[in-house]
Amino acid sequence: MGLDLLRGKVAVVTGAHRGIGLAILERFVQCGADVRVVNRRADPAFSERCRALEQEHGVRISECFADFEDEAQVKDAARALCAMKPAPDILVNNVGIAGSTMMFTMTKMEAVRRSFEVNLFSAIALTQALSRQMMRQKRGSIIFLSSSAAFDGGAGIDYSASKAAVIGAARRMAVELGKFGIRVNALAPGLTRTDMGAVTSQADQAQAASRAVLGRIAEPSEIADAAAFLASDLSRFVTGQVLRVDGGILR
């Protein structure tokens, strides 16, 4: 990985506290980016890790907070981010919840709405605010986290549907923002070794691994590498796409 791939760029990463978001934070700072994270709440251990990463890579990491179930908090965070200079070059909408594992006939609409709030609506609200800053500088790369479940319905109704909706949102934004030099893409990871991934039973994890032609599930760092590609100028002619990072689920 070229270490200076993102040198001089500023990225906003949501849900960097753990899992894929944390791996993206780590990869981006290794590549030289300054990162502004949006986490649910403050955590001294996380802040300490950020200070160590800053030292190690000569970058700056700042934190702001929002619970993505609460639109008002997301708007406040967006306002705080918009007040920071310089404007960001990259936005990764990573926050997500797995939601219900029940049959859809047994899933409460309340749960469906909650997943859409966290996985889609909050990301749209944040992107509305930050893309306006990117429009001014006529450049930017926005990345959404979808999922292989968007294609194969491999999770509960709320998750599968909201992750499919994320793709529609990313495509529409790509259409509208292209003229401002802003690219919008989505990543669709297969099952990945994080706390969310661990919700899946051992038997289902083994089945997921066997469906991928590479014969295993993903590591968070592998999703982060794909995010670095989409964030960087290496993908400068790529927009409106869904990059599947699933080890090749072809059947």
Interface ranges with ligand NAP (CB under 6 A): 15, 17-21, 40, 67-69, 94-97, 118, 145, 147, 189, 191-192, 194-197
Q: From CA 157, how far away is CA 99, in angstroms rounded?
A: 9
H helices within 145-219, ranges in order? Answer: 149-152, 157-177, 195-198, 202-211
Half-sphere exposure of residue 114: CA atoms within 13 angstroms, side-chain side: 11
State the binding partner of 195 from ligand NAP, another protein, none, CB within 5 to 8 A by kind. ligand NAP
Asked about 51 being catalytic, the answer comes back as no
Which SS3 state, helix, strand or coil, does residue 185 take? strand
Choose the catalytic residue: 116, 121, 159, 229: 159
Nearer of residues 82 and 165 to another protein, judged by Cβ: 82
- Residue 51 interacts, among another protein, ligand NAP, none and using kind-specific CB cut-offs from 5 to 8 Å, with none
Q: Which residue, 40 or 171, is less far from ligand NAP as judged by CB?
A: 40
Question: Smaller CB distance to ligand NAP: residue 67 or 139?
Answer: 67
Q: Which does 189 bind (CB under 5 to 8 A by kind): ligand NAP, another protein, none?
A: ligand NAP
Closest CB to another protein among residues 179, 251: 179
DSSP label at residue 216? S
**Residue 94, binding choice from another protein, ligand NAP, none, Cβ under 5 to 8 Å by partner class:** ligand NAP
* 87 CB-near residues (< 8 Å, 6+ apart): 10, 130, 133, 134, 136, 137
Q: How many CB atoms lie within 10 A of CB 25?
A: 27
Residue 166 beta carbon to ligand NAP: minimum distance, rounded to whole angstroms: 8
- Please give the Cα distance from 251 to 239 (Å, whole number): 26
Report how far residue 131's alpha carbon sits from residue 66's, in angstroms, rounded to the nearest whole number.
18
**Active-site residue list:** 159
